Chains A and B, each alone.
Chain A
Amino acid sequence: MNGGKQTIVFQNKPCVLAGYSIVGPKESMGPLDPYFHKRLRKDDFGQSSYEKAECKLHMSAISGAIIAAGLSPKDIDANIGGDLLNQIITSSFSARELDIPFVGMYSACSTFAQALIVGATLIDGGYIRRAACSTSSHFSTAERQYRYPLELGTQMTPTSQWTVTGAGCTVLGKYGEGSKIYLESATIGKVIDFGISDANNMGAAMAPAAAQTVIQHLEDTGRSVDYYDNIVTGDLGIYGSRLFLELLESEGIHASAKHKDCGEMIYDKKQRCPQGGSGAGCSSVVFNSYFLHQMRSGSIKRMLLIPTGALLSKLSSLQGETIPGIANAVSFCVEE
């Protein structure tokens, strides 16, 4: 790759034109509430099924971001999106309603980074002008696909995480469209499996992938963690973050002062989500609300966003497979 072993360096500064986030009721009771663009009062969004509700969430995030950028759907060359449901039905069904060419993506909860990397690369190469990069997840649709019925009286294990109900969309465009926030480089992660097999311990399954991607990113770019104001992981959760930092420490990288985790940030400790949030929507709602706001206000000048994904299915877990993890990193800069 042009920036080292796993890293792409963008040549023409593809920019973030706008971001939009929409969340469910539980997320709006968390500490990031003031930053979200729209909050649902009920998580069914007035639909007859939760799958339809997630689809509407996804669509609302895309149209919200396009409007926030002062554009209309015809100005967008590609919707690059993904979600957690089988055959990514949420993103493709919402694309059915939008008159925008669609690229479907999947890398579990790391999908948001994958969408940003593909969108930015297409813009950087001059192939398209603008891309809407969107991801979503919904607690109730994820529960039934990966776990148990909602009304079943089960207990959460101490390492489990709560799937975020929400959707986020970032509109990317060419440099010179009035935005100062641009994507500087990106590191494409390797699939890494350290042998964790407990589907309720996804933070531990993803932490090695996140650590590998960060170590490789720093090596490829010749930077230290001090270069960034924040190193932000997607949904490692409280415990996964601890393991991530331990893994970096073992390589002599001290990142704890710079590190934040979207899953850890989105819920309050009182909200009874043992290790915090997870899901494809987790990193995208937190990035498009809180972090975009921090970059606009100038309190963050450079950040590395590393959404993390656990590449399991219910089938693979039942067959006794361990859980492979992936993490893709995207580096954002604010132009002085």
Chain B
Amino acid sequence: MLSKTEYLELDKKIAPKSKEGRTLFFAFVVGGVICMIGQGVSDLFKLVIPAADEKLLGEITSTVMIFLGAILTGFGIYDKIGKHAGAGSIVPITGFANSVVSPAMEYRSEGVVFGVMCKMFVIAGPIIVSGVASSILVGLIYWFVGVAA
């Protein structure tokens, strides 16, 4: 029989690969559409509340997009989008909502505390940890640089 190295080489050579053109295209289109919807929401609120500044508009838009991501997950639509879009639907903030809501739904059979609450952040947890950690780091740099100036 083939040796281990020969086998691993064979696997590398003939293993079916992702169709990159197709996956990149769908990721680009779906990711772009999600961002366009976000921009649309922002513009709409600008019309409704003319006094709102950029910061407030950004906050409202994120909230609406998170809501949409969560609702689509609940109705079992977001995972179907993700099947085709890949990173196009994972990277936007709607994907973050999907990664929190989907385990909450999945583990509800283990009860509210040990199921929903404990498992809600199994996927989103690392994003939150790295977000908080890097903001501390950036804050420290900013503080030292600020003091020096």
Contacts and interface: CB of A to CB of B under 8 A. Distances in A.
B61 interface: no
B49 interface: no
Interface string A130-168: 000000000000001000111111111111000000000
A243 B99 CA distance: 35
Nearest to A238: B16
A218 to B, nearest CB: 13
Interface residues of A, dominant DSSP? loop
Interface in A70-104: none
B123 interface: yes
Contact of A243 (B10, B73, B82, B109): B10
Contacts of A201: 11, 15
Contacts of B73: 151, 153
Nearest to B26: A155
A48 interface: yes
B62 interface: no
A195 B90 CA distance: 31
Interface residues of B, number: 37
A250 B7 CA distance: 11
B103 A149 contact: yes
Contacts of A212: 1
Contact of A152 (B11, B15, B86, B103): B103
A317 interface: no
A247 B102 contact: no
A156 B15 contact: no
B76 interface: yes
B106 A151 contact: yes
A229 interface: no
A211 B1 contact: yes
A252 to B, nearest CB: 11
B42 interface: no
Nearest to A158: B16
A162 to B, nearest CB: 12
Contacts of A274: 16
Contact of A159 (B15, B98, B99): B15
Given A144-B106, A149-B106, A274-B16, A155 B82 contact: yes
B93 to A, nearest CB: 13
Contacts of B90: 153-154
Interface in B76-95: 76, 78-86, 89-90, 95
Contact of A151 (B11, B76, B85): B76
Interface string A192-205: 00111000010010
Interface in A32-75: 48-51
A336 interface: no
Nearest to B81: A153
B138 to A, nearest CB: 29
B1 A204 contact: no
B18 interface: yes
A173 interface: no
B8 interface: yes
A156 B83 CA distance: 7
Contact of A153 (B98, B103, B109): B98
10 contacts: A148-B123, A149-B107, A153-B79, A153-B89, A154-B79, A154-B90, A156-B83, A158-B18, A201-B15, A243-B7
- In the A-B complex, the 7 residue pairs with the closest CB atoms: A153-B82, A149-B106, A151-B102, A149-B102, A158-B16, A49-B109, A152-B102
